[in-house]
């Protein structure tokens, strides 16, 4: 597939609903008694996997236009699925559903995804779930398929060895209907959508510093969820606007949850022209983000606590770094090697084709700003990773080059309307 979308990007737009919040709303809707309306969810390959999986467990889920309605008789009425729960490319579905199924105690199920999921470590969730008493087996004790057998589980106090909202959430889902206190301590705080939404559905959950305490055993009650736009999708438009001449783009109703908004801090630190208007909300914060072309951007150096707050934005931040006025570094981000693909390798190998210079580290990279000319006939690899493909498209637009990507279908995982939304903002120069 060839990509050429050059021009000036101006106007007001929205991005699809937040992926993490949509997955959790579908899961908590299925676990709660009553009707959960989900407004403006992300409708994409990944979230449709979660939707289908919840149907297989017995929830009645309908799609009304752009919204979902989940009707369920509650967690105690969910049943073992007759067939394998297929999770496609979705790591979040695979990991969270493993915790959810362990928490249902009487379930026998097998969970399996596509070829990329088959290579993603699941022992990170199965180890703590086994400490709770879950009976789960993996291929080579590490990879899907995940086979869950009925078991009685007990609460757990767990020190997270890595910053991972998926691991934290799997433990919390398992703890929801388990009498007693399930406690998770984090070293670096990861996204907190599960904690916020479980409280909204009536779970007894409290957060103090980097410790989450869930007192299990309460039935959940359905509530409506309005999903804000995904800041991880907005990130591609934010970077595009910062680095393309004449750009002035406003993205409305984007999640501003502090556990996700690290990219805004980085852009502000770089001197980027960005303005945030927060709207009133209870629960998840959201607002509008206006970004304008900024020719002179300072470099950035990120490590430590900020990394989980922008983990999914690191590929597109590598593009931004190529346009800064000095060397930028990313450290403490070894987790990138365990995403849809090894994103450190993918970012470096594909952006080097544009002439960007990198130094690779085990846990990140250094970017020397600047770029060259793409070789005639160069074929770019998308690695079946939505964020790598969108990163490549933004870079190609910014350097005014037509590129060919081997397979760009994975965009559907999180931002199916990406190319047409860009087209909607584009004016011919
Ligand atoms: C997610 C958590 C993050 C993130 C992923 C979505 C979630 O993964 O990279 O895209 O919804 O919980 P980890 O928790 O594995 O870091």
> In this structure, which residue's CA is closest to atom 10 in ligand 1?
312
Check residue 6 and give its pLDDT: 79
In a shared domain, residues 234 and 203: no
Closest-lying ligand 1 atom to the alpha carbon of residue 167: 14
User: Cβ atoms within 10 A of the Cβ of 374, count?
Assistant: 18
In a shared domain, residues 214 and 119: yes
What residue numbers bound the domain in which 390 lies?
2-16+228-427
In a shared domain, residues 233 and 222: no
Boundary residue ending a domain (226, 257, 283): 226
In this predicted structure, the answer to whether residue 1 has a pLDDT above a threshold of 60 is: no
pLDDT greater at residue 280 or residue 70:
70
The reported pTM is 0.97
Residue 2 — very low, low, confident or very high, per pLDDT cuts 50/70/90?
low
Boundary residue ending a domain (226, 250, 274): 226
Check residue 258 and give its pLDDT: 97
In a shared domain, residues 7 and 101: no
For residues 74 and 23, give the distance between their C-alpha atoms in angstroms, rounded to a whole number. 17
In a shared domain, residues 190 and 235: no
User: In what side-by-side order are the strands of the sheet with 157-159?
Assistant: 157-159, 180-185, 211-216, 204-208
Q: Cβ < 6 Å from ligand 1: which residues? A: 20, 92, 164-166, 169, 190-191, 311-312, 335
Q: Is residue 46 annotated as a catalytic residue, yes or no? A: no
Check residue 217 and give its pLDDT: 97
At residue 136, φ and ψ (nearest 5 deg) are -130, 135
Check residue 5 and give its pLDDT: 73
In a shared domain, residues 222 and 259: no
In a shared domain, residues 289 and 162: no
In a shared domain, residues 146 and 259: no
In a shared domain, residues 211 and 243: no
Catalytic residue among 18, 46, 312, 408: 312
In the predicted model, what is the mean pLDDT of the chain?
97
Residues 311, 285, 337, CA angle at the centre, nearest 5°?
Answer: 10
For residues 170 and 4, give the distance between their C-alpha atoms in angstroms, rounded to a whole number. 41
- DSSP assignment of 276-318 equals EEEPP-SSS-EEEEEEE--S-B---EE-GGGGGGSGGGHHHHH
In a shared domain, residues 63 and 142: yes
- DSSP assignment of 47-72 equals HHHHHHHHHHHT-EEEEETTEEEEEE
pLDDT tens, 208-260? 999 999 999 999 999 999 999 999 999 999 999 999 999 999 999 999 999 99
38 closest CA partner among 218, 188, 222: 222
Check residue 255 and give its pLDDT: 98
In a shared domain, residues 261 and 372: yes
Check the annotation: does 2 bind a ligand. no
In a shared domain, residues 168 and 279: no
Check residue 96 and give its pLDDT: 98
Check residue 106 and give its pLDDT: 87
Domain count of the fold of the chain = 2
Mean pLDDT of 365-385: 96
Are 301 and 364 a contacting pair, CB within 8 Å? no
Q: What is the CATH number of the domain that holds 274?
A: 3.65.10.10
CA atoms within 13 A on the CB side of 55: 14
For residues 332 and 249, give the distance between their C-alpha atoms in angstroms, rounded to a whole number. 31
129 closest CA partner among 174, 160, 182, 95: 174
Boundary residue ending a domain (226, 243, 261): 226
Check residue 383 and give its pLDDT: 97
């Amino acid at each position: 597939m060839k990509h050429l979308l050059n021009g000036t990007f101006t106007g007001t737009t929205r991005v699809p609903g937040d992926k993490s919040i949509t997955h959790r709303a579908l899961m908590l809707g299925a676990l709660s008694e009553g009707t959960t309306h989900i407004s403006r969810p992300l409708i994409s390959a990944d979230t449709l996997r979660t939707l289908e999986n919840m149907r297989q467990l017995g929830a009645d889920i309908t799609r009304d236009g752009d919204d979902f309605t989940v009707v369920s008789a509650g967690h105690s009425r969910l049943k073992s699925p007759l067939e394998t729960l297929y999770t496609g490319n979705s790591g979040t579905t695979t990991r969270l559903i493993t915790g959810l199924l362990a928490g249902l105690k009487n379930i026998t199920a097998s969970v399996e995804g596509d070829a990329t999921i088959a290579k993603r470590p699941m022992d990170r969730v199965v180890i703590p779930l086994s400490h709770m008493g879950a009976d789960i087996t993996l291929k080579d004790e590490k990879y899907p398929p995940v086979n869950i057998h009925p078991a009685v589980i007990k609460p757990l106090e767990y020190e997270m060895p890595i910053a991972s909202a998926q691991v934290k959430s799997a433990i919390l889902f398992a703890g929801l209907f388990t009498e007693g206190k399930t406690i998770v301590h984090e070293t670096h705080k990861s996204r907190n959508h599960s904690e916020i939404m479980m409280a909204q559905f009536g779970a007894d959950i409290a957060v103090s510093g980097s410790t989450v305490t869930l007192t299990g055993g309460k039935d959940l009650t359905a509530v409506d969820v309005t999903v804000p736009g995904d800041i991880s999708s907005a990130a591609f438009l934010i970077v595009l606007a910062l680095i393309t001449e004449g750009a002035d783009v406003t993205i409305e109703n984007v999640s501003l949850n502090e556990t996700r908004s690290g990219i805004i801090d980085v852009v502000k630190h770089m001197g980027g022209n960005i303005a945030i208007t927060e709207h009133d909300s209870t629960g998840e914060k959201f607002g509008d983000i206006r970004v304008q072309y900024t020719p002179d951007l300072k470099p950035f150096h990120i490590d430590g606590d900020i990394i989980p707050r922008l983990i999914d934005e690191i590929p597109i931040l590598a593009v931004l770094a190529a346009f800064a006025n000095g060397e930028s570094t990313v450290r403490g981000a070894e987790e990138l090697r365990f995403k849809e693909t090894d994103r450190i390798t993918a970012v470096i190998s594909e952006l080097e084709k544009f002439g960007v210079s990198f130094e690779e580290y085990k846990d990140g990279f250094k970017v020397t700003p600047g770029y060259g000319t793409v070789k005639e006939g160069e074929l770019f690899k998308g690695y079946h990773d939505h964020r790598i493909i969108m990163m490549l498209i933004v870079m190609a637009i910014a350097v005014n080059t037509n590129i060919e990507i081997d397979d760009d279908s994975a965009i559907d995982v999180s931002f199916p309307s990406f190319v047409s939304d860009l087209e909607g903002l584009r004016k011919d120069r």
